[in-house]
Chain A
Amino acid sequence: MREIVIISGKGGTGKTSISASFAAISGQSLLVDCDVDGADLHLVLEPAVQESHSFYGLPLPKIDPETCRRCGACQRVCRCDAIEKRPGGYWIDPLACERCGACVDLCPRNSIHMEESISGEWYRSETRLGPMLHARLEPGAENSGKLVTQIRQEARKVAEARAIQTILVDGPPGIGCPVIAVLSGASAAFIVTEPTVSGLHDLRRITEVAARFRVQAMILINKADLNEAFTKQVEEYARQDGLALLGRVPYDHAFVEAQLAGQTLPEHTEGPASDAIRAAWHRLETLLPADQ
């Protein structure tokens, strides 16, 4: 079984559009939307939810107003500035709290306790392109990677049960917790980049993360004709770092049109962009065959 994680470093390079396109081209794959903070894959795949589950993030401390003596020890101990003094007593801001539990353990009156906290939901669904695991995090929730890890685990179970050899993961942007969680144990990192100064800057950072976590990285240059000079720079960077360059996809309004039509690009139209994505997929298959 191979698990291909599609990431980008910089947001907006076309990661989700490419993931969806790959699902359409591959024919037999399981999709996982691990961009739990801004999940978009479902907008194109229209999943029929089969199961939904609450996701429990790290438990959140709660101050019991009845036993609290307003000594302020919790506020002094908190290093996230998450505890505020309010007219009714002290209050813990769930958006700032990192759930370390220092306030719980150091409250002299034992007035603070950890409470289970539902911070999202995850779903197992069916789509026209195969089964899909996806999730939704509550706005402001801590995106520690726990939810990403959970849906990847569930995805592996489903893939094993249904003898599906390919898992395609639409990954999160950035280089933090959720990206590290999504890369752990993946077969390959498929990096979608763009030929811009931001794209190249972020590409360097994300390939370093992939290398650090020992995941084989491959690159696709999206919007490749936007800036030929930068496309060459990306190609040069790939060459120098020994990273496989799987293709160049032209900047095409068809991406937007396909999205508005609720389709993946290959389903919506033929053309240079579609062809380039197909070619990239076939190159990926050569580098990472399904039966290994």
Chain B
Amino acid sequence: MRVAISAVGATPTSQVDPRLGRAHYLMIYDTASDSWESIDNQKNIGAPGGAGIAVAEMLAQKHVTRVLTGACGPKALQALTAAKIQVEENVNGTVTEALRRFLTANRSTVDSAE
């Protein structure tokens, strides 16, 4: 399973970015290989609209199935839902802390996805 977390910086110790579409980075964690990938999202920060849609598309292409973030706009949510990606909002703390909470709460789902 691949989990994406919106982040302020490009490392797992960064704070979770409260926005998804205009997050500075997306940190993608792969449970199978226990590895991190960081995606630079700066180009979407200045976008007038559709930033969340662009991120949703990118995540779908990267086979992400879960997203953890502060808040996600309605269009992004539509796009993520269409791509069968589940979103959890109101997530805060560092990226690693958020991942740890997610993995603990979703242990059985993660195990069966492996």
| In the complex, A touching B (Cβ < 8 A) | yes
**A169 interface residue per 8 A CB criterion:** no
**A177 interface residue per 8 A CB criterion:** yes
Q: How far is the CA of A142 from the CA of B27 in the complex (A)?
A: 34
Main secondary structure on B side of the interface with A: loop
**A28 interface residue per 8 A CB criterion:** no
Q: How far is the CA of A146 from the CA of B47 in the complex (A)?
A: 6
**A145 interface residue per 8 A CB criterion:** yes
| Chain A residue with the shortest CB-CB distance to B49 | A145
Chain A proximity of B23: nearest CB distance (Å): 12
**A187 interface residue per 8 A CB criterion:** no
| Chain B residue with the shortest CB-CB distance to A150 | B46
Chain B proximity of A161: nearest CB distance (Å): 14
Q: How far is the CA of A91 from the CA of B49 in the complex (A)?
A: 28
Q: Mark A139-157, 1 if CB is under 8 A from B, else 0.
A: 0000011100110010000
Residues of B within 8 A of A149 (CB): 46, 48
Q: Quick one: which of A146-197 are within 8 Å of B by CB? A: 146, 149-150, 153, 177, 181
Residues of A within 8 A of B49 (CB): 144-145
Q: How far is the CA of A149 from the CA of B49 in the complex (A)?
A: 10
Q: How far is the CA of A150 from the CA of B45 in the complex (A)?
A: 8
Taking each of B45, B46, B48, which has the highest tally of chain A beta carbons within 10 Å of its own beta carbon? B48
Taking each of A56, A149, A153, A177, which has the highest tally of chain B beta carbons within 10 Å of its own beta carbon? A149
Chain B proximity of A289: nearest CB distance (Å): 22
Q: How far is the CA of A49 from the CA of B46 in the complex (A)?
A: 22
Chain A proximity of B6: nearest CB distance (Å): 15
Q: How far is the CA of A144 from the CA of B45 in the complex (A)?
A: 15
Chain A proximity of B76: nearest CB distance (Å): 13
Residues of B within 8 A of A145 (CB): 48-49
Q: How far is the CA of A138 from the CA of B19 in the complex (A)?
A: 30
Chain B proximity of A116: nearest CB distance (Å): 12
Residues of B within 8 A of A153 (CB): 22, 45
Q: How far is the CA of A150 from the CA of B42 in the complex (A)?
A: 13
Q: How far is the CA of A146 from the CA of B46 in the complex (A)?
A: 7
Residues of A within 8 A of B48 (CB): 58, 144-146, 149, 177, 181
Residues of B within 8 A of A181 (CB): 48
Residues of A within 8 A of B45 (CB): 153
Residues of A within 8 A of B46 (CB): 56, 146, 149-150
Q: Quick one: which of B39-58 are within 8 Å of A by CB? A: 45-49
Q: Quick one: which of A19-59 are within 8 Å of B by CB? A: 56, 58
Q: How far is the CA of A234 from the CA of B26 in the complex (A)?
A: 47
Q: Mark A38-82, 1 if CB is under 8 A from B, else 0.
A: 000000000000000000101000000000000000000000000
| Chain A residue with the shortest CB-CB distance to B51 | A149
| Chain B residue with the shortest CB-CB distance to A143 | B48
| Chain B residue with the shortest CB-CB distance to A56 | B46
Q: How far is the CA of A150 from the CA of B46 in the complex (A)?
A: 6
Q: How far is the CA of A56 from the CA of B45 in the complex (A)?
A: 13
| Chain A residue with the shortest CB-CB distance to B47 | A146
Q: How far is the CA of A289 from the CA of B114 in the complex (A)?
A: 49
Chain B proximity of A3: nearest CB distance (Å): 14
Chain B proximity of A266: nearest CB distance (Å): 35
| Chain B residue with the shortest CB-CB distance to A178 | B48
Pairs A–B under 8 Å by Cβ, sample size 16? A56-B46, A58-B48, A144-B48, A144-B49, A145-B48, A145-B49, A146-B46, A146-B47, A146-B48, A149-B46, A149-B48, A150-B46, A153-B22, A153-B45, A177-B48, A181-B48
Query: What are the 7 A-B residue pairs with the smallest beta carbon separation, nearest first?
Result: A146-B48, A144-B48, A145-B48, A150-B46, A149-B48, A146-B46, A181-B48
Known A-B contacts: A56-B46, A146-B46, A146-B47. Give 13 more (CB < 8 A).
A58-B48, A144-B48, A144-B49, A145-B48, A145-B49, A146-B48, A149-B46, A149-B48, A150-B46, A153-B22, A153-B45, A177-B48, A181-B48
